[in-house]
């Protein structure tokens, strides 16, 4: 059975690995077939995953509705996280975290998720036009009403995290973190440790790159978000291949895949980190779940650190217009 972890001081207990559900509906090419997607979500639960991540902005509620149907039979045995914060639930538009909008999103999400409470409600991106005190205060009210259990932030900067936490304790921060995006180590991880906030890394496999399944010759579907990511340009994919080679070498000695080593590395960083790899494929789900049972030795971790210190990852993780939305 998969081990569990507690997100910071919140008391929110989740499986060591969660399932990021965005890609089932949005972001990485065409949406998965609905019945296949439901099967995948239920297969994750059968394999010990109890933490499922969605958002209003993933296909404007369609992903939440999918999750609501898939998880309904065992709703009380799982933790569901969703998010508010984009105009009309459309990530292509700007932020909208006005209190009345947060309340609207909560009510709509409860219906789509077929539930009476949201276990973890994140602000998807910090909204510069709404004071963080108002955002945190609104979620605090929703918690008092029983509609929400815990408050989270996504891609927020240190100042916003402190301000939010002072109004309503933040259970978790969800931001990108992996062996090829280590920015949170500078300022964010020490802050979360200090405040007792859990960390939920998204894209823990570098948007698929650390699996080893993507090379310089890979072509993505025209609707795939990675087409506009500088780090995924052909020359940068070629340059970054060295990272995967290191993971393959370490994996070979542990009878593990590069993806499993990358996930095990994240789990080894802090006991309050729960990555949420996403996939549409059952064999990848099984591979990811297998990472929770891999214990990297201090020697393994040292080998990874030494090798990665010599490699400079090429290319930004976001195009400039998306980079502006993070770390506020």
Give one DSSP letter per residue of 275-300, joined into a string. Answer: -----S-HHHHHHHHHHTT----HHH
Q: Which DSSP string do the residues of 38-72 spell out, in sequence order?
A: HHHHHHHHHTT--EEE--TTTTTTHHHHHHHHHHG
Does residue 65 come out as left (phi exceeding 0), alpha (psi in the -120 to 50 range) or beta? alpha
DSSP reduced 3-state for 175: strand
Interstrand relation of 79-84 and 51-53 (parallel, antiparallel or unpaired): parallel
What's the longest Cα–Cα distance across the chain? 54
H/E stretch holding 189: helix 188-195
Annotated catalytic residue 58: yes
**Residue 291 to residue 263: CA distance in whole angstroms:** 6
Report CA torsion sign: 94, 177, 109, 228.
Answer: positive
- Between the alpha carbon of residue 91 and those of residues 57, 64, 148, 179, 327, the distances in Å are 6, 15, 22, 26, 17
What distance in Å separates the CA atoms of residue 71 and residue 278, rounded to the nearest whole number?
16
Catalytic residue among 26, 28, 58, 122: 58
Which residue numbers are catalytic?
58
């Amino acid at each position: 059975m998969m081990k569990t972890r507690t997100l910071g001081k919140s008391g929110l207990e989740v499986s060591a690995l969660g399932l990021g559900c965005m890609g089932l509906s949005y972001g990485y090419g065409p949406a998965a077939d609905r019945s296949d997607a439901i099967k995948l979500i239920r297969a994750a639960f059968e394999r010990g995953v109890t933490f499922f991540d969605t958002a209003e902005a993933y296909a404007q509620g369609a992903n939440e509705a999918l999750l609501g149907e898939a998880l309904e039979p065992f709703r009380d045995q799982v933790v569901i996280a969703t998010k508010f914060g984009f105009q009309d639930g459309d990530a292509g538009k700007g932020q909208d975290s006005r209190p009345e909008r947060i309340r609207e999103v909560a009510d709509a999400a409860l219906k789509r998720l077929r539930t009476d409470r949201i276990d973890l409600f994140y602000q998807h991106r910090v909204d510069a036009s709404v004071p963080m005190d108002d955002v945190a205060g609104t979620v605090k009210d929703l918690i008092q009403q029983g509609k929400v259990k815990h408050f989270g932030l996504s891609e927020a900067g240190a100042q916003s995290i402190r301000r939010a936490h002072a109004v309503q304790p933040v259970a978790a921060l969800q931001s990108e973190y992996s062996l090829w995006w280590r920015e949170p180590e500078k300022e964010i991880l020490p802050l979360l440790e200090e405040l007792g906030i859990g960390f939920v890394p998204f894209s823990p496999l570098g948007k698929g790159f650390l699996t080893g399944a993507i090379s310089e010759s890979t072509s993505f579907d025209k609707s795939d978000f990675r087409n506009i990511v500088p780090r995924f340009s052909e020359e940068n994919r070629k340059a970054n291949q060295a990272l995967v080679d290191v993971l393959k070498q370490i994996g070979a000695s542990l009878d593990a895949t590069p993806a499993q080593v990358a996930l095990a590395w994240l789990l080894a960083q802090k006991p309050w980190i729960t990555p949420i790899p996403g996939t549409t494929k059952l064999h990848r789900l099984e591979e990811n779940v297998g990472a929770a049972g891999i214990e990297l030795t201090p020697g393994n971790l040292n080998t990874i650190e030494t090798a990665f210190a010599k490699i400079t990852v090429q290319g930004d993780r976001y195009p400039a217009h998306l980079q502006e939305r993070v770390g506020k």
